[in-house]
Structure 1
Amino acid sequence: MTRIITIYTQPSCQPCKATKRWWDRRGIRYQEVDITTSPKDAEAIRALGFKEAPVVIVSTGDAETDLMWSGFDPNNLTKYTTTEAA
């Protein structure tokens, strides 16, 4: 199953930096969207109910199995990595 990771970030956001660093250390590729330069994406994230950055969306192509969360969340990061390795 192909997964696409998108991280919606803000430049001075420490949890955003921690999340990116977590993926980088494991060699996991992701797309980054700076919501301060993309009002359309910022509005879409707010419409999903998220109020803090980063917002991580792991898209599987199936809305039933997509993962979404906000903040630096090692549990979700580990869960994704474990499922990806399986």
Structure 2
Amino acid sequence: MVFAANEPHENVQTKQTSGPWPQGDTNMSITVYSKPRCPQCDATYRALDKQGVSYERIDVTQDPESLAFIKGLGYQQAPVVVAGEDHWSGFRPDRIKAVAAAGAPLALQA
């Protein structure tokens, strides 16, 4: 399986379908496709949390349709972040900051 639990995360891929993001795009949904025990996934969650961005987590080891979706986008490693019509693979703090600056929906504070 491509997304093995201890798989190294080398050769980070980036694919951009559009961008930069429109300013104030509060309808942009953010989804992080990840797997267990994934350091880059954890770093991505922390960075999104730090920016206060709302996102959905999907564990591709438990969701075959989601795994097929990200493979269909051409990705072979986790995490894969889909932000609106843009997507990338790996821990990308620059992209996370850009999404936050574009006005992605903010997480509700408890």
Percent of paired sites with the same residue? 35
Q: How far, CA to CA, are the matches of 2:50 and 2:95 in structure 1?
A: 16
* 2:39 counterpart residue number: 14
2:65 aligned with 1:35? no
2:94 aligned with 1:52? no
Alignment length, in residue pairs? 79
The TM-score with structure 2 as length reference comes to 0.68
Q: Identify unmatched segments of 5+ residues in structure 1.
A: 60-65
- Judge which range, 75-84 or 30-39, deviates more: 75-84
2:95 aligned with 1:76? yes
Q: How far, CA to CA, are the matches of 1:4 and 1:45 in structure 2?
A: 16
Max Rg structure: 2
Q: Identify unmatched segments of 5+ residues in structure 2.
A: 1-24, 105-110
Higher relative contact order (CA 8 A, sep 6+): 2
| Structure (1 or 2) with the greater helix fraction | 1
| 3-state DSSP of counterpart to 2:61 | coil
* 1:63 counterpart residue number: none
The TM-score with structure 1 as length reference comes to 0.85
| Structure (1 or 2) with the greater strand fraction | 1
1:12-60, Cα deviation, whole Å (9 max, x unpaired): 110000000111122211000000000111011101101110000012x
Q: How far, CA to CA, are the matches of 1:79 and 1:3 in structure 2?
A: 13
Counterpart code for 2:101: T
In the TM superposition, structure 1's runs of 4+ consecutive aligned residues that sit over 3 Å from their partners are: none
